[in-house]
Amino acid sequence: MDAVRVIGAGRAGTSLARALSAAGWRVDGVLGRSDDLTHAATGVDLLVIATPDAAIAAVAASVEPMPTTLVTHLAGSLGPDVLVPHPRRAAIHPLVSLADVETGPAKLDGAWFAVAGDPAAAEVVEALGGRWRVVADDERAAYHAAACMASNHLVALLGQVERVAATAGVPLEAYLDLVRGTVDNVAALGPARALTGPVARGDWVTVDRHLAALDDRERAAYVAMVDAARRLLQDEEARACR
């Protein structure tokens, strides 16, 4: 495959189009809401539907099927079935955070992807130097939930860090090297062995001091993460006893 057309001019669609162009593919247009999509699958090897998840099925149904064109979407929680009636269909979800179209193409280079459906989906990933794993339809919701935890929930957690740190007069910037180092530790050691701090030490006096210092609106999230850390330790202990 070497010719692609994209429906959806947002961050994901534009980033993928630019990344494939840089990899030597011919990008035959990025179509938007006002474009006629009837013949979008004509004359290309790959048609990517990069719209919001709720619109994918309707967009796919508005495109005239072509027997040789692979039609795919970028949604993490959906499988290829939403692309019926296209005979060749696949799901290709990039496991990266595409915050803008300037940095997006570089993030796709060498990224992990979850694929399903037509085996040619792997060719798209490999064209970007990426790594892929098949995630079946009945596993995609759990896979995508984990992706949201890894990215969206982490951002929300750092928003809490920023709020709480501000009460001590410390900027978020001061904590970012700690965050990066922690992620490096997880990569090297795994989550359980990378865990440090009062929960890992069983220092519940310090945990109580933290709770007393927090605004009422911050406590629920802190308690939830303490419980998650405690479960991480308990699971690791259970594995060690097997």
Report the candidate in 71, 90, 96, 98 with the shortest Cα–Cα distance to residue 15: 98
Quick one: pLDDT at residue 100? 92
135, 151, 186 — which closes off a domain? Answer: 135
Residue 199: the pLDDT is 96
What value does the mean pLDDT take over residues 139-144? 96
Residue 97 and residue 160 share a domain? no
Average pLDDT over residues 175-201: 96
Note the pTM of the prediction, 2 decimals. Answer: 0.89
SS (H, E, C) the chain: CCEEEEECCCHHHHHHHHHHHHCCCEEEEEECCCCCCCCCCCCCCEEEECCCHHHHHHHHHCCCCCCCCEEEECCCCCCHHHHCCCCCEEEEEECCCCCCCCCHHHHHCCCEEEEEECCCHHHHHHHCCCEEEECCHHHHHHHHHHHHHHHHHHHHHHHHHHHHHHCCCCCCHHHHHHHHHHHHHHHHHCHHHHCCCHHHHCCHHHHHHHHHHCCHHHHHHHHHHHHHHHHHHHHHHHHHHC
Whether residues 58 and 167 share a domain: the answer is no
Same-domain check for residues 131 and 174: no
How far is 187 from 200, CA to CA, in rounded Å?
18
pLDDT band, residue 239 (cuts 50/70/90) = confident
Domain end call among 115, 135, 155: 135
Structural domain containing residue 16: 3-135
Q: What is the pLDDT of residues 18-28, one digit of tens each?
A: 999 999 999 99
Same domain, 32 and 149: no
Count of domains for the chain: 2
- Provide the pairing of β-strand 112-117 with 89-94: antiparallel
Do 129 and 58 lie in one domain? The reply is yes
Residues 130 and 10 in one domain: yes
Tens digits of residue pLDDT in 51-66: 999 999 999 999 999 9
